[in-house]
Amino acid sequence: MTDYHPMWKELGMDLETHDLLCDALPAAFGDTYLSQENRPENMAFYDYVVSGIHGIRPAELIEMQKEGRKVFGTFCVYVPDEIVVACDGAVTGLCGGSQFWVPDGEKYVPADTCPLIKASLGAHFGKTCPYFMVSDLYVGETTCDGKKKAYEILGADKETYIMDMPQMKREQDVVKWKDEIAAFAQKVEETTGVALTVERLANAIDVINAKRAAIARVYDARKADPVPISGKDTLLMTQISFFDDPVRCAEMANKLADELEQRIADGVGVFPKGTKRIMITGTPMAIPNWKLHHIVETSGGAVVCEDMCTGTRYFENQVDNSGTTLEDQFMALSKRYMMNNCACFTPNPGRIEDIIRHAKEYNVDGVIDCNLKFCTIYNIEKPSVAKALADEGIPCLSLETDYADNDAQQLRTRVGAFIEMLGLK
Amino acid sequence: MSTHTDVWVLYDTCKAAGISARIAPTPRIADAHASCGTSLLIDCTHRDEILSLANAAGVATNGVIEVENSIDPKRDRYC
Ligand code: SF4
Ligand code: SF4
């Protein structure tokens, strides 16, 4: 067995507490993932990554650092990976998805802060996540209020660069985001010591576009009935994409998509044809947050689409790579990223349009709109989401949850009743 | 499994031999040292066959641990 303790010690991690976290993973992963029937063979790569989640990729990142390359920890899909990749850096997504980290986070922010923020702070300050420890720089963004304040707290302990996100989507906001991307590029150049060129950025745009295209193929396969892959497995693939090497990520997603396309041709699915098709929208689901997907898929439903940042927003829309100057390229990046319809924007009609479009494209029977507790912005959008779906005749269940286990039974009851109701339609 | 490479070799070997296996986090009872380790989940009935395949492929294993009925999809214990 590769013993990662020396590496974790070197990173300054709290080994004793970290061992407790490692304790929980095998059973949770077994119950959630290995209990599934007829999984695609190409999920083996993702099982492998999870099995060595705190060892394999962090070890690669450390090797990169030995070559003088830098690791950027990010918390939002608005931060353009292309800039970092162009300067030979690596991006690792840092949003915390485990209840394990929440108590440590509550030492730094009020308990009525969303669990994603608390878990992220807990992972940093508790020194129990190698991805936080290995990051040379955190990159935050001015999205929701909780995150803005959390970055001040993180920034007091590790260098944290903040990108100032527009709050609206007017012409001038796209220009503003372009300027923010240009300023970020300067910071990345300073940090990595690599000068950004048009050629470097064009290559990086190609790399990330290829990754998006590969993930899109996996999602496209989910439009079939019977669906060839579970929602849980797709979610895992997406979650891992946030910290894996982007070239390998595309390669693995393409392999998985090949298999899924073959399954569709052969009429092979993971649930019987006609299983109620559920789309989930709302707050993102950072690894290892698998709770809602697992509950849906063990209650008679199949999750066929996630309209969220750990879902469609991560891969939809390619960056136009025809620019011949850095200015052109920054603008192309801004245009693509500004197409993401996060609830932090006002007004935000694009999110509703996306939800309706996805519900139709993936032929869903019902939508679950779920936000993490204390996430005000997504919670407030719920009535307008429900109304838009009702206007289209698509049933919607609104839920709120966190990372703890104790509401699972109640969620099972509500999700079970919802799926049963869909069957009566 | 001794190394992460070994797990892949054995996984591919099993696949080629038509034996189903899945890569999984090492169960804690097998790993007192909590190393975030990889293991191969197999059906106990294939134990001897897989061990001889591992031997032939030069894969070093740390041992075979029987885990009885440890998977429960309705347990609702997340991490
Ligand atoms: S939900 Fe909003 S703040 Fe969160 S990752 Fe997505 S875009 Fe960023
Ligand atoms: S879930 Fe909501 S409150 Fe939490 S970080 Fe995301 S946008 Fe902010």
pLDDT, one tens digit per residue, over A215-226 is 999 999 999 999
Contact A48 B36 (CB under 8 A): no
Contact B78 A55 (CB under 8 A): no
Interface test with B, best of A5, A51, A412 (most B CBs within 10 A): A51
**Is residue A212 pLDDT above 80, yes or no?**
yes
Task: Find the helix or strand (DSSP H, E) in which A282 lies.
Answer: strand A276-282
pLDDT at B1: 53
Choice among A168-177, A390-399, B22-31 with the minimum mean pLDDT: B22-31
Question: Read out DSSP for A353-387?
Answer: HHHHHHHHHTT-SEEEEEEETT-HHHHHTHHHHHH
- Which residue, by CA, sits nearest to atom 4 of ligand 1? A76
Across the range A378-406, mean pLDDT stands at 98
pLDDT at B2: 55
Q: Counting atoms of ligand 2 from 1, which one is nearest the CA of A150?
A: 5
Q: Mean pLDDT in chain A?
A: 97
pLDDT at A363: 98
Confidence of residue A99 (pLDDT cuts 50, 70, 90): very high
**Is residue B4 pLDDT above 80, yes or no?**
no
Nearest one of A293, A301, A294 to A366, comparing CA atoms: A301
**Is residue A199 pLDDT above 70, yes or no?**
yes
pLDDT at B29: 65
Chain B interface, Cβ < 8 Å to A:
1-4, 7-8, 11, 15, 22-28, 31, 33-39, 41, 62, 70-79
**Is residue B6 pLDDT above 90, yes or no?**
no
Note the pLDDT tens digit of each residue in A309-336: 999 999 999 999 999 999 999 999 999 9
Confidence of residue B5 (pLDDT cuts 50, 70, 90): confident
Q: Considering Cα of A168, then A172, then A173, then A176, what sign does the dihedral take?
A: negative
pLDDT at A412: 97
Note the pLDDT tens digit of each residue in A251-309: 999 999 999 999 999 999 999 999 999 999 999 999 999 999 999 999 999 999 999 99
Note the pLDDT tens digit of each residue in A48-87: 999 999 999 999 999 999 999 999 999 999 999 999 999 9
Contact B23 A44 (CB under 8 A): yes
pLDDT at B60: 82
- Which residue, by CA, sits nearest to atom 8 of ligand 1? A76
Choice among A62-66, A180-184, B40-44 with the minimum mean pLDDT: B40-44
Q: Where does B1-79 have alpha helices with state H?
A: 4-16, 47-57
Confidence of residue B30 (pLDDT cuts 50, 70, 90): low
Across the range A237-260, mean pLDDT stands at 98
Question: Read out DSSP for A218-266?
Answer: HHHHTTSSS-SS-HHHHHHHHHHHTTS-HHHHHHHHHHHHHHHHHHHHH
Q: Counting atoms of ligand 2 from 1, which one is nearest the CA of A114?
A: 4
Q: What percent of chain A has pLDDT over 70?
A: 100
Q: What percent of chain B has pLDDT over 90?
A: 16
**Is residue B33 pLDDT above 60, yes or no?**
no
Confidence of residue A120 (pLDDT cuts 50, 70, 90): very high
Task: Report the predicted TM-score, pTM, of the whole model to 2 decimal places.
Answer: 0.96
Across the range A32-47, mean pLDDT stands at 95
**Is residue A126 pLDDT above 80, yes or no?**
yes
**Is residue B31 pLDDT above 70, yes or no?**
no
**Is residue B32 pLDDT above 60, yes or no?**
no
Nearest CA distance, B67 vs chain A (angstrom)? 11
Ligand 1 site, CB within 6 A? A 76-78, 143-144, 284, 309, 340, 342, 344
Q: Ligand 2 pocket, A286 CB below 6 A?
A: no
Peptide bond into A115 cis (omega under 30): no
Q: For residues A344 and A193, what is the distance between their CA atoms, to the nearest angstrom?
A: 33
Q: Where do the domains of chain B lie?
A: 4-57
Q: What percent of chain A has pLDDT over 90?
A: 96
Q: Considering Cα of B68, then B72, then B76, then B79, what sign does the dihedral take?
A: positive
Q: By the 8 A CB rule, do B64 and B41 touch? A: no
- Token pair recorded at residue A238: 């997406």
Q: Ligand 2 pocket, A375 CB below 6 A?
A: yes
